[in-house]
Amino acid sequence: MRLLKEATITKIGSAVEKGIAADRAGVAALDLLIADGFDKVTDFISPKSKSKGSTCKPDEWTALKAAVTTGFTATNQALLLKPTKTLTEEQKLAKRYWQQQLGARIGDFGKQLAKRLNIDSDDGAGSNNRPLEQRVRDNLNDVVKVCGAAEEATFNVTEMQKIVKSALALLA
């Protein structure tokens, strides 16, 4: 019979804890992306992609890339800014890797959104089967979206969106 060593148990616990924290952070970030209008899966596809039907404009894509890059180390951020022609072969490989990571991380948000939309539209997993936190988050995102599309209102739409976004931040 194999037994787990204490160091292994500790490392597994730490990995699970960090994974749960990362999942929560990803959900909170996606909520804010949706509140900011990135509410279609195709919003997370590069506008340079010819076959996938991107709805993301070049300046929006640049903003997404810049936001994701803030999660990289300062060294990797600097590497991404350097002209490729000035790099050594090793640096070029590293830059390519981090460029791929950048696209993959943006794609992860698209996958999260697709998963969320499928859950919401799935007959067996309606709103009552989602956790309370998720239902509140989705409803707050709907308020932001409705306010953003409102042409006439009897209240300050901008202030309402600001307050609802603050409520979304509380769920993070």
Residue 50 lies in a domain: yes
* Of 85 and 141, more confident: 85
**Enclosing domain of residue 88:** 41-108
Residues 85 and 47 in one domain: yes
Residue 113 lies in a domain: no
The mean per-residue pLDDT over the stretch 100-127 comes to 76
Last residue of a domain, one of 58, 73, 108: 108
The pTM of the full predicted model, rounded to 2 decimals, is 0.66
Residues 61 and 88 in one domain: yes
Which DSSP string corresponds to 14-82? HHHHHHHHHHHHHHHHHHHHHHTT--SGGGGS-TT-SSS-----HHHHHHHHHHHHTTS-HHHHHHHHS
Predicted confidence at residue 122, as pLDDT, reads 39
* Most trustworthy range by pLDDT among 45-54, 108-117, 144-153: 108-117
* Of 116 and 60, more confident: 60
Residue 114 lies in a domain: no
Last residue of a domain, one of 59, 82, 108: 108
Residue 64 lies in a domain: yes
Domains identified in the chain, total number: 2
User: Is residue 54 pLDDT above 60, yes or no?
Assistant: yes
- 15-37 pLDDT per residue, tens: 999 999 999 999 999 999 999 99
* Structure letter (DSSP) for residue 171: T
Predicted confidence at residue 116, as pLDDT, reads 86
Residue 115 lies in a domain: no
Between the CA of residue 61 and those of 38, 74, 118, 137, 144, what are the distances in Å?
11, 21, 24, 24, 21
Predicted confidence at residue 124, as pLDDT, reads 42
User: Is residue 88 pLDDT above 80, yes or no?
Assistant: yes
Residues 20 and 55 in one domain: no
Contact by Cβ (8 Å): 107, 52: no
Residues 48 and 101 in one domain: yes
Residues 45 and 31 in one domain: no
Residue 129 binned pLDDT confidence (cut-offs 50, 70, 90):
low
